[in-house]
């Protein structure tokens, strides 16, 4: 774990409980912070599975299965994820070459924001194959959507199948046209549960999901538990070679007229990272919004000097 702020530490805490790894190394520019977090989290090991958790340095990257990068400036109240671009690109310019020097042969998981831009930056700076560099993308946004829909319909959110695609940010797109509850189309399920104002309800839920991070940041200055669970889930899928379908951020080539941009679309994820894209049905309007999301990310990428 590179970066031991709220997100990095919460993610290591979630991973400690998962029993997925025998060893977790924390790296941070502030070595004391990494050591303190490692000590604190290690004291929970007697209630989990045997493992080693300690503060280390970039040499520990060499034989790692997964390197998670959460290092970066956090989002402040009133700031968008894209406002963080220059600060965090500069941080990545110091981190990624250090990883590349160690002949890292695992999967790189980018969590820092703006995650889509930084995933693309990590691909360019690391020289790793595109399938082995993944961003946490809209895994959390999609979980927030499923949670909200579960609440709205009074059903278990694990039975809700719905994706947010595109940027992890303000231009994200809810793929309403492919959303379902255990195979039952969403609009049908809504009516079964007594909801008939589809347009109003979907607009309200989409806005709530999109703004939930801003709301949490305004109330408690940072978001970290939801993303920690998302990191745990992505690591699970990789380590167990589950070949699960997750809306992770990755390089897109030719899907919905989008090429050479990193953003979130459902993909089969396993031990080798991205196996393949999953074609998702989008309405004409959704496809248009997705293209706009990709174009806005492309414009920002063009301003970055690597």
- Does residue 302 have a cis bond before it (omega within 30 degrees)? no
Query: 152, 161, 168, 250: which one is catalytic?
Result: 168
Q: Is 253 a catalytic residue?
A: no
Q: Are 294 and 252 contacting, i.e. CB atoms less than 8 angstroms apart?
A: yes
Per DSSP bridges, beta strands 267-270 and 244-246 are antiparallel
The span from the CA of 100 to the CA of 259, in Å, is 25
Q: Treating both helix axes as pointing N-terminal to C-terminal, what angle do 139-153 and 225-239 enclose, rounded to 10 degrees? A: 110
By C-alpha distance, which of 73, 74, 24 is closest to 44? 24
Asked if 141 and 168 touch (Cβ cutoff 8 Å), the reply is yes
Residue indicated by tokens 């969403």: 186
Residue 78 Ramachandran class (φ > 0 left, ψ -120 to 50 alpha, else beta)? left
Backbone angles phi, psi at 254, to 5 degrees: 85, 10
Categorise residue 182: left if φ over 0, alpha if ψ from -120 to 50, beta otherwise: left
Let me know if 222 is exposed, middle or buried by CB neighbors in 10 A (0-12, 13-18, 19+): middle
Residue 143, classified by CB atoms within 10 Å of its CB into exposed (0-12), middle (13-18) or buried (19+), is buried
Determine the Cα–Cα distance for residues 221 and 9; give it in Å rounded to an integer: 16
Cβ atoms of 251 and 260 within 8 Å: the answer is yes
Residues assigned a catalytic role: 168
């Amino acid at each position: 774990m590179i970066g031991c702020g709220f997100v990095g530490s919460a993610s290591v805490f979630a991973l400690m409980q998962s029993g997925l790894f025998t060893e977790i190394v924390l790296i941070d520019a502030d070595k004391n912070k990494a050591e303190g977090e490692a000590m604190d989290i290690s004291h929970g090991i007697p209630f989990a599975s045997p493992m080693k958790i300690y503060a280390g340095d970039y040499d520990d990257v060499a034989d790692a299965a997964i390197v998670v990068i959460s290092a970066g400036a956090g989002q402040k109240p009133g700031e968008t994820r894209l406002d963080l671009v220059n600060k965090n690109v500069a941080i990545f310019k110091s981190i990624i070459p250090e990883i590349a020097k160690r002949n890292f042969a695992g999967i790189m998981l980018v969590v820092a924001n703006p995650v889509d831009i930084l995933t693309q930056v990590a691909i360019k700076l690391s020289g790793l194959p595109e399938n082995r560099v993944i961003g946490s993308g809209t895994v959390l946004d999609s979980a927030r959507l499923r949670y909200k829909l579960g609440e709205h319909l009074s059903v278990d959110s694990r039975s809700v199948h719905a994706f947010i695609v595109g940027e992890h940010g303000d231009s994200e797109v809810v793929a309403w046209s492919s959303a379902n509850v255990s195979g039952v189309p969403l609009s049908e399920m809504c009516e079964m549960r007594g909801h008939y104002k589809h347009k109003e309800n979907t607009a309200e839920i989409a806005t709530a999901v999109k703004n939930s991070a801003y709301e949490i940041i305004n109330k408690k200055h940072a978001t970290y538990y939801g993303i920690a669970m998302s990191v745990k889930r992505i690591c699970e899928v990789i380590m167990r070679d589950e070949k699960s379908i997750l809306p992770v951020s990755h390089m897109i080539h030719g899907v919905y007229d989008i090429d050479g941009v990193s953003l979130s679309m459902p993909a089969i994820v396993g031990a080798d990272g991205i196996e393949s894209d999953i074609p998702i049905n989008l309405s004409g309007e959704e496809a248009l919004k997705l293209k706009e999301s990709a174009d806005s990310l492309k414009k920002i990428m063009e301003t970055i000097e690597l």
